[in-house]
Structure 1
Amino acid sequence: MTRLLIIGLGGFLGAIARYGLSSAIGARTTSAIPWGTLGVNVLGCFLLGALMGYSRERPVDSELQFFLRVGILGAFTTFSTLGYETVELFSTGRLREGLVSLFGNLLLGGLAVVAGEWLARWQFS
């Protein structure tokens, strides 16, 4: 039960952070590409990679891992919104923007995890 509460609190904080950052990024662009979703997903992937790298070099309490990985970062990144926005772009004839969004999230997200892990391992080894 305690672990569920820890994850729930992290999820609450991550969802609020995602909404705030995604909205702030989205308010600064007029493009059809959902840059807010891309921004939070890439940042979340980078932070997850950094946490991975750090935890490989230094012990991290398992409850803190659940709070950060599953709670905060799980709610901060948003695969379902990516899927929704991509289908919405495709269905309104904006194929190019949909492809940029879809593959940008996947490619940049993967690279961000690798970069975050590498940076943390380099910093804390």
Structure 2
Amino acid sequence: MIFVAIGGFFGAISRFAISNWIKQHFRTYFPLATFCINLIGSFLLGICVGLGPISSLQLLAGTGFLGAFTTFSTFSVESVKLYESRGLLAAATYMCLSCVLGILLAFIGWWLMSV
């Protein structure tokens, strides 16, 4: 549990810092910060899973760090807000791109560790 807790601590702080940096440098109605963070996290989690059986490193990096780094709840709320402010097409585009690209990047990360 200590590995998960330590990883979660640093994952949450990293998400907060990167999200704020992206929001300061890229002004857009699109939830770019959460989009980028979740895609990066999906790729990195694919790598962690591709490493093989669960180890202390996977608990620290995968479950802890990446579990706190990525955020489904923020994705969900931002999807609703995007729907309210920009309509169904913008929200559906965000949701579809996030899911399809997230799964694709997780697969690529896993595949890279499997070859």
Q: Percent identity?
A: 36
Of 10, 14, 18, the match for 2:15: 18
TM-score of the superposed pair, with normalisation by structure 1: 0.83
Q: How far apart are the structure 1 equivalents of 2:14 and 2:60?
A: 14
List 4+ stretches of structure 1 deviating above 3 A. none
| Structure 2 partner of 1:32 | 29
Question: Deviation string for 1:46-74 (max 9, x for gaps)?
Answer: 0011111122xxx652x322222211010
TM-score of the superposed pair, with normalisation by structure 2: 0.89
Tell me, what secondary structure is at the counterpart of 2:38?
Answer: helix
Q: How far apart are the structure 1 equivalents of 2:102 and 2:84?
A: 24
- Structure 1 pair 92/60, CA: closer, same or farther in 2 (3 Å)? closer
| Structure 1 partner of 2:48 | 51
Q: Which has the larger radius of gyration?
A: 1
| Structure 2 partner of 1:97 | 90
The runs of 5 or more residues in structure 2 that have no matched partner are none
Amino acid of the structure 1 residue aligned with 2:44: L
Question: Deviation string for 1:64-102 (max 9, x for gaps)?
Answer: 222222110100110000001011111224333222221
| RMSD over aligned Cα atoms | 1.6
| Structure 2 partner of 1:75 | 68
Is the 8 Å Cα contact of residues 48 and 69 (structure 1) preserved in structure 2?
A: yes
Total equivalences in the alignment: 115
